[in-house]
Chain A
Amino acid sequence: MASTAALVCRQLVKVFDGTRAVDGLDLTVERGTIFGLLGPNSSGKTTTIRTSLGIYKPDGGSVELLGSRDPLAVRQRTGYLPEERGLYAKMKLREQPAFLASIRGLALAESDRRASVWLDRVGLGARAASLTRELSKGMQQKVQFAAAVIHDPELVVLDEPFSGLDPVNSRLLKELILEQRARGTTVILSTHRMEEVEALCESICLLSHGHPVLNGRLRDIKAAYGRNTITVEYAGAAGRLDKIPGVQACDDSGRDARLRLESGADAQRVMRAIFDRVEVNSVRLDEPRIEDIYLEKVGSSRVAEASAAQEDV
């Protein structure tokens, strides 16, 4: 029976050279939401995306994209911004989104018209006749985003859309993503930037070695952890906050610190102990941030490895 969800993966398996890149993944992305696909490098995110979009054939399980068992049958209703990306170096800027729009099913004239509109929207209208190789990386990235959504897809997959963008362009991109959701588009966002996940995503799936280790609504996941995190801003000398009884882990920068409580610890008592040790500017008891949950689930060593790999890119 066809689901009403935008994407449903059931027991999805994809094997490369004997390695199970995706290993029995169950995943549901509701329509009209922004969904975060998270996980360290080589955890199977890109493979999940490619298999979901029909670029790879699954080795086991099934994919249902926009209600269709054959992802390629609905390819004109999906958009994709891959992580590693490029454009034709010798093609004029305006022709690139126009070409990609046309293979997504738009008529040639309409493709041209929308390409002009989108270049204006991302602030590159004046460069429409430039060759791509004359543009900066950030400019190219905006064009690529435009190419992913130019045909008004029902579902768009954005793999690391923020990498390499300056704060101004990041803000612009965030607005454009929210605008997509406002017009009813389902957005699957794969990213390492946890603050963007926090700000944009309703639901997430955290992958590790091809398995989901967290899966569900962000609000529910956080609520399951409870208010177990104390954030402190302080002045003066550091005061060994990690030695306070009831504190399981402490991330202390010297000006502010985040303390995770042991389960069953008395938060009020811990806060009083903080006041005893440092000169407090502010203190707050909160649910954990998604970054904390990520670190706990995936393990800090894997994260360090992942972020090092990320810097290489």
Chain B
Amino acid sequence: MNLTQIAKIARREYLARVRNRAFIVMTVLVPLFLGLYVFSVPLLSRSGSRNLRVAVIDGGTGLGQPLANRLRSIGRPSITVTDVVTVAANDTSSRDRFGAAVRARTLDGYLVVEPDVQSAPTARYVARESSNPTLIRELRLAVQSVALDKLLAGTGVDGNEVRKTQQLTLDSITLSDRGERPGGFQAAFASTMVLGMLLYIAVLINGQGMATAIVEEKSSRLIEVILGAVTATEFMTGKILGVLGSGLTQLAIWIAVSLVALLQASPALALGAAPGFDMSAILNVRLIFYFAVFFALGYLLYSILFAVVAVTCTSTEELGQTMMAAVLPMVVALMVALSVIANPATTMTRVLSLFPFFTPLVMLARVNVLMPPLWGVWLGVAIMIATSAAAGWAASKIFRYALLMTGKRPTLPELMRVVRAG
């Protein structure tokens, strides 16, 4: 292997990747979109602050008027109670009237409270938009509160004291060997999703670019000229190093941006986030370090996979169809990684995080949620390096065999024979 030759192939591939419009656009847009995603999760649930017009139907519980007062006191979303009616159990006329108003959009919804012989009163909210979780929670609390007051009336127990015990919060703190830090499902989910998507998108764009270039070189027969000057192994190594370089460039840009965000803008970020949503769970130096390690390794392994897929294709159409095979493990890995967040300590999780095609995302999710023992993390790293080395070795054999093939695609058994034959 001639290093100068490899460097020249790598240089061309690197320049072709980073000059590509998709590279430039994604390097800027991806962090932008992911940033929006992270912030929009808490923001979305706070929306809907406009005034809602709600009618109350009391089916004989006696809660109608107190409930209306309670609803008026809700600040977000603010509620105007348009009507409070008390009706007999089998009287549906009010419901029909309010239903028509909701359909005509003169009313946003109506709340029905009815007595239940066996338990507490039941409540039902009927509206065009009935899925806003904040509103539903507020309505439930309001009904609960007035029902409680009614229940406690005359017992001498202070309703406010009871409510206080009901509002007790439970904080979740992640305890690891390095100490405590606040954590939570939401933060871990968002950060794993973000980091996973960054890796996924970087590999997809640059790997696909390289794969297309290889197929182009094959189908245009440029490869014959190139192979007159470099060996197949030098060619492949240069390609993979070039595309790895482009990925690391992207990574460096993203890390630089996030470090700047971490140092300069963290107070501002903390203000923008919802309570219970800790930005430091996403942007902290330890996580960024492991992200860089797993990004580089995952990127390398998937680049080799993409290169092998590309070299067995003879046209870009074929490549498009076959690419799915290389992308699939990453999609599965992302799904596994997200499920790991809920169960970070199971045996299944440990095993899956050591499977090299899953390690970058799944191990990262583990590091993110519940720091595994260091030897476990570095075992994953070692397995990935060993797998990449073996994959590179097999790939160079496949390259030697398939680079000059045209028309016919090599079959899988054929390729396995080639790799075994050495």
> Judging by beta carbons under 8 Å apart, are B222 and A88 in contact?
yes
How many residues does chain B have at the interface if contact means C-beta atoms less than 8 Å apart?
A: 21
B270 contacts which chain A residues (CB < 8 A)?
Answer: none
Q: Closest A residue to B226 by CB, please name it.
A: A103
**In the assembled complex, B219 has its CB within 8 A of some CB on chain A:** yes
Name the interface residues of A27-63: CB closer than 8 Å to any CB of B: 50, 53-56
A90 adjacent to B16 (CB under 8 Å): yes
Measured between beta carbons, the chain B residues less than 8 angstroms from A91 are: 16
Are A103 and B230 in contact, with the CB atoms below 8 A?
yes
Contacts of B229 in A (CB 8 A): 75-76, 100, 103-105
Mask: chain B, 1-21; 1 = CB below 8 Å from A; 0 = not: 000010011001000100000
* Residues A103 and B9 in contact, CB atoms below 8 Å apart: yes
Question: CA of A117 to CA of B222 in the docked complex: distance in angstroms?
Answer: 22
- Contact, CB under 8 Å: B221 / A82: yes
CA distance A89 to B215 in the complex (A): 12
B377 → chain A closest CB, angstroms:
40
Q: Which of B220, B221, B404 counts the most A-chain CB atoms under 10 A from its CB? A: B220
Contact with A89, one of B8, B12, B216 (Cβ below 8 angstroms)? B216
Of residues 172 through 192 on chain A, the ones whose CB sits less than 8 Å from some CB of chain B are none
B220, B226, B231: which contacts A72 (Cβ < 8 A)? B231
Contact partner of A50 among B12, B216, B224, B226, CB < 8 A? B224
Interface residue? B227 (CB, 8 A) = yes
Interface size class of A (residues with CB under 8 A): 20 to 34
**Chain A residue with Cβ nearest B228:** A80
Residues of chain B within 8 A (CB-CB) of A104 are 229
Instruction: Assess whether A103 is in contact with B8, with CB atoms less than 8 Å apart.
Output: yes
CB distance from B401 to the nearest CB of A (A): 12
- Is A147 touching B12 in the complex (CB atoms < 8 A)? no
**By the criterion CB–CB under 8 Å, are B228 and A87 in contact?**
no
- A75–B224 Cα distance when bound, in Å, is 13
A87 touches B222 (CB 8 A): yes
A206 in contact (CB, < 8 A) = no
Complex-state Cα separation, A79 to B226, whole angstroms: 10
B residues in contact with A83, CB < 8 Å: 221
Tell me the nearest residue of chain A to B15, going by C-beta. A95
Docked Cα-Cα span, A88 to B230, in Å, equals 17
| Chain B CB within 8 A of A229 CB | no
Decide if A103 touches B220 in the complex (CB within 8 Å).
no
* A86/B220 in contact, CB under 8 A: yes
Docked complex Cα distance between A275 and B227 (Å): 59
Interface flag for A228 (CB, 8 Å): no
Instruction: Considering the complex, give the chain B residue whose CB is closest to the CB of A148.
Output: B225
Nearest B residue (CB) for A100: B225
The verdict on A55 contacting B228 (CB below 8 Å), with A85-B222, A86-B221 known, is yes
What residues on B are CB-neighbors of A89 within 8 Å? 216, 220
Residues of A within 8 Å of B219, CB to CB, are 86
A78 to B228, CA, bound (A): 8
Q: Which chain A residues border B8 with CB–CB below 8 Å?
A: 99, 102-103
Pick the contact of B222: A76, A86, A90, A105 (CB < 8 A): A86
A87→B190 CA distance, assembly (Å): 44
A102 to B229, CA, bound (A): 10
Q: Across the two chains, which residue of chain B brings its CB closest to A53?
A: B228
Contact among A82, A103, A105 with B224 in the assembled complex (CB-CB below 8 Å): A82
Separation in Å of the B389 CB from the closest CB of chain A?
24
Contact of B228 among A54, A85, A90, A102 (CB under 8 A): A54
Q: Given known contacts A82-B224, A85-B225, A100-B226, what 20 new A-B pairs fall within 8 Å (CB)?
A: A50-B404, A54-B228, A56-B404, A75-B228, A78-B228, A80-B224, A82-B225, A83-B221, A85-B224, A86-B219, A86-B220, A87-B220, A88-B220, A90-B16, A99-B12, A102-B8, A103-B9, A103-B230, A104-B229, A148-B225
* 25 A–B contacts, CB within 8 A, in A order: A50-B224, A55-B224, A55-B227, A72-B231, A75-B228, A75-B230, A79-B228, A82-B221, A82-B224, A84-B221, A85-B224, A85-B225, A86-B222, A87-B222, A88-B216, A89-B216, A89-B220, A99-B12, A100-B225, A100-B226, A102-B8, A103-B5, A103-B226, A103-B230, A105-B229
- In order of increasing CB-CB distance, the 10 nearest A-B pairs are A86-B220, A82-B224, A103-B229, A80-B228, A84-B221, A55-B227, A102-B8, A103-B8, A53-B228, A104-B229
